[in-house]
């Protein structure tokens, strides 16, 4: 599913647009016991409950595509009789009114979801009349199909923090009563997927709040799909592969990784004009080798990176953008610019020192006229000097704060 398709479903989760037919749930304790089950018509909920549950449903469709939201393909064997897809199809067709099927679903989650604390399993059923859209995205008042789906949210339930509060029964300030509070969803899914604005029973949309450590065990054992890495996992794995290949020299490996990521960033700019926006720029192993060849990484390290990359990503080639640490790249670029500026300033100082000699009165030898402009600034101002082209002419720019003053040839100047 792409961003537009996710937003089309999510936009319906409002008071005036919501058409959830039914909601059911099961509260599970830390020992994996079912504490309470419930089910009811969603639109009959009290207003406060209605909006709380609606916020939970919205969270399952939030975050970034490819990181928080992953499209998982359902294997062919799970589409046969007795498979996970067939079970979910039956649960959907029951509209959550079959208690035996919902109990089986809760058991499936409990057996496959690895979580140490208490949690709440929620299931929503909805039927959406998909309106026909023209090629220019204008909506027509006729239904193209009915997209019927299930939305599941698994929410941690934790004990509220201890504190003081007003005890109305005793008319005093005392210990606040602690209770169990339902948090935002940790994991969830949408079945079937809404691909190309139509029902796709061969895939589902998986949600994870934690992109570093998603519940891959639930993807595989619970939903019967192959586990898929988030963009965060792909980035961390690639960074580990490069650093491991470069050895234990931390500074050197960071520099090499920064240089490679610069090449990868440039590659995205080159290729994105040829690639569909939703697909992204995919990094083939051979293309990675070409990018590495343009860096200072040794041939042995390059070969090690290529082999580890092919082995680790052979089941699913990642987008180049997913492998780039944007913050580190920006920080590295900033450090490089500062280093270059300091180098330019040092070279400028050496040139000034070579052609001038200090005078007892004004600090310069008036007898030497090699330079038209000679600077004499406080040491702390030196890193702030930069070269800039203004109106086609090369200029030296020295920033001045409001409380700073300048003198030109010994004469005070107002800037």
Task: Tell me which residue has tokens 């023209």.
Answer: 134
Task: Give the alpha-carbon dihedral of 319, 322, 327, 333, to 10 degrees.
Answer: -30
CA distance 22 to 124: 6
Residue in 260, 325, 321 with CA at minimum distance from that of residue 294? 260
**pLDDT tens over the chain, length 415 residues:** 899 999 999 999 988 888 999 999 999 999 999 999 999 999 888 989 999 999 999 999 999 999 999 999 999 999 998 899 999 999 999 999 999 999 999 999 999 999 999 999 999 999 999 987 766 555 565 667 899 999 999 999 998 888 888 888 888 888 877 788 999 999 999 999 999 999 999 999 999 999 999 999 999 999 999 889 999 999 999 988 988 888 765 566 777 778 888 888 888 888 877 776 667 888 898 999 999 988 888 888 899 999 999 999 988 889 998 988 887 777 767 766 777 787 788 778 777 777 665 554 444 455 545 667 777 788 777 888 888 888 878 888 888 887 777 877 766 766 5
How many Å separate Cα 323 from the centre of its chain? 12
Residue 383: partners with Cβ closer than 8 Å, 6 or more residues away: 338, 341, 342, 345
Contact 102, 34 (CB under 8 A): no
Give the residue extent of every domain in the chain. Answer: 3-228, 232-324, 329-413
Distance CA 413, CA 337 (A): 31
Q: What is the pTM of this model?
A: 0.75
């Amino acid at each position: 599913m792409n961003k537009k398709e996710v937003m089309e479903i999510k936009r319906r989760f409002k008071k005036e647009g919501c058409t959830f037919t039914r909601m059911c749930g099961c509260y599970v304790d830390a020992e994996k016991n079912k504490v309470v089950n419930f089910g009811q018509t969603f639109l009959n909920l009290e207003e406060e409950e209605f909006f709380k549950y609606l916020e939970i449903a919205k969270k399952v469709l939030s975050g970034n595509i490819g990181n928080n939201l992953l499209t998982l393909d359902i294997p062919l064997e799970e589409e046969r009789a007795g498979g996970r897809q067939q079970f979910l199809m039956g649960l959907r067709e029951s509209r959550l009114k079959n208690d035996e099927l919902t109990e089986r679903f809760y058991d499936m989650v409990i057996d496959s979801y690895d979580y140490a604390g208490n949690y709440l399993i929620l299931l929503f059923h909805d039927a959406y009349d998909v309106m026909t859209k023209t090629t220019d995205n204008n909506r027509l008042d006729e239904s193209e199909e009915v997209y019927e789906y299930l939305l599941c949210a698994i929410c941690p339930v934790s004990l509220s923090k201890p504190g003081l509060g007003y005890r109305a029964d005793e008319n005093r300030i005392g210990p606040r009563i602690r209770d169990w509070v339902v948090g935002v969803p940790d994991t969830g899914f949408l079945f079937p997927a809404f691909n190309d604005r139509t029902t796709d029973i061969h895939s589902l949309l998986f949600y994870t709040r934690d992109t570093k450590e998603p519940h891959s065990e639930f993807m595989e054992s619970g939903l019967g799909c192959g586990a898929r890495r988030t963009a965060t996992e792909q980035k961390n794995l690639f960074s580990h592969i490069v650093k491991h290949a470069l050895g234990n020299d931390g500074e050197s490996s960071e520099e090499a990784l920064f240089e490679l990521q610069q090449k990868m960033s440039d590659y995205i700019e080159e290729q994105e004009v040829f690639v569909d926006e939703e697909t992204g720029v995919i990094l083939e192993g051979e293309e990675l080798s070409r990018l590495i060849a343009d860096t200072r990484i040794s041939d042995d390290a390059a070969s090690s990176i290529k082999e580890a990359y092919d082995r680790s990503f052979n089941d699913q080639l990642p987008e180049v953008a997913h492998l780039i640490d944007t913050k580190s790249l920006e920080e590295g670029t900033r450090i490089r610019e500062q280093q270059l500026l300091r180098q330019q300033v040092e070279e400028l100082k050496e040139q000034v020192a070579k052609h001038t000699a200090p005078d007892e009165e004004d600090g310069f030898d008036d007898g030497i006229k090699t330079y038209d402009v000679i600077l004499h600034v406080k040491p702390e101002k030196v890193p702030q000097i930069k070269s800039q082209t203004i109106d086609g002419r090369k200029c030296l720019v020295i920033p001045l704060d409001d409380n700073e003053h300048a003198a030109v040839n010994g004469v005070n100047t107002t800037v």
